[in-house]
Amino acid sequence: MFLMEIMTIPKDDPIAFTFFTGYMAMFAAAIFFLFERSRVDDKWKTSLLVSGLITGIAAVHYYYMRDYYMVTGENPTALRYIDWTLTVPLMCVEFYLLTKAAGAKLGLMWKLIGASVLMLVAGYIGEAFNPEGGSTSHSVLWGVISAVGYVYVLYTVWAGEVKQLADASNSTTVQKGVRTLAWFVLVGWAIYPIGYMCMPGGWLNISLGWESSNVDLFYNIADAINKIGFGLVVYGIAIADRKVTPAVA
């Protein structure tokens, strides 16, 4: 006879709570976005599919990350970066899809994907391969390289090609949507470099004494807000566009 071990959430562990909550929230969001594809116009179906993939991939990773954390009590760094390396480029794809009707080329999509991958790979090297005890020079070097990718995405969506294409779309719905997603990149994504700088050897760890022990809590909350929020903005654009598009007799 086999006994199944029941995993419980400690009452005084908000990190474990957010791992479980994040998993369920993103799993539910993935189902919602995929089912809602049937309610939007064809031009938005791919955007909602991508939103469903983003939250679905994140849900699968959170399923494994919550177990890893509950067993070890440690940050599942490798699993978290695998999740980000798949989902963050997909979030960048949403900018291309939203501005495609205004003339966005595939080159824009690949530049955004490349910048996001650079940001994440450099961040992973800086965090996962930091010498024991923390090396400030290692952290700073790879943090700066990672920041190059982040700043490129930030500039592109706020003032560069994405912003210009959105303005040229003559669609207030798309313009507002792109602006909202740009705020996610500016504010929502900012939690990740903050967490990076809290690790041993990081700027915030050295200068202010901030530790990475509770960074998982902020990562979990930020992941849910950013990934589900991205999808909800895209969904809102698709629904609003359907309402304003005149019916064809």
Residue 237 or 127, more confident: 237
- Averaging pLDDT over each range in 11-15, 32-36, 66-70, 135-139, which range is the top one? 32-36
User: Given this model, what pLDDT does residue 13 score?
Assistant: 85
Model confidence pLDDT, tens digit, residues 102-112? 899 999 999 99
Reported as a pLDDT band with limits 50, 70 and 90, residue 249 is very low
Per-domain residue ranges of the chain: 14-239
Q: Grade residue 3 by pLDDT with cuts at 50, 70 and 90.
A: very low
Q: How many angstroms separate the CA atoms of 65 and 68, rounded?
A: 5
pLDDT the model gives residue 194: 79
At CA 93, angle to CA 87 and CA 98, rounded to 5? Answer: 135
CB burial readout 42-61, b (16+ within 10 A) else e: eebeebbebbbbbbbbbbeb
Q: Which residue has better confidence, 206 or 120?
A: 120
pLDDT of residue 129: 85
- 3-class SS letters over the chain: CCCCCCCCCCCCCHHHHHHHHHHHHHHHHHHHHHHHHHHCCHHHHHHHHHHHHHHHHHHHHHHHHHHHHHHHCCCCHHHHHHHHHHHHHHHHHHHHHHHHHHCCCHHHHHHHHHHHHHHHHHHHHHHHCCCCCCCHHHHHHHHHHHHHHHHHHHHHHHCCHHHHHHHHCCCHHHHHHHHHHHHHHHHHCCHHHHHHCCCCCCHHHHHCCCCHHHHHHHHHHHHHHHHHHHHHHHHHHHHHHHHHCCCCC
Residues ≥6 apart with Cβ < 8 Å to 107: none
Domain 14-239 CATH superfamily? Rhodopsin 7-helix transmembrane proteins (1.20.1070.10)
- Which residues have CB under 8 Å from 8's CB, separation 6+? none
Please tell me which residue, 92 or 12, carries the higher pLDDT value. 92
Model pLDDT, residue 140: 85
Mean pLDDT of 233-242: 90
223-236 pLDDT tens trace? 999 999 999 999 99
Q: Is the pLDDT of residue 244 over 60?
A: no
pLDDT (0 to 100) of residue 2: 45
Q: Which of 49-58, 108-117, 132-141, 235-244 has the lowest mean pLDDT?
A: 132-141
Nearest to 77 by CA among 156, 173, 192: 192
Q: What is the pLDDT of residue 167?
A: 94
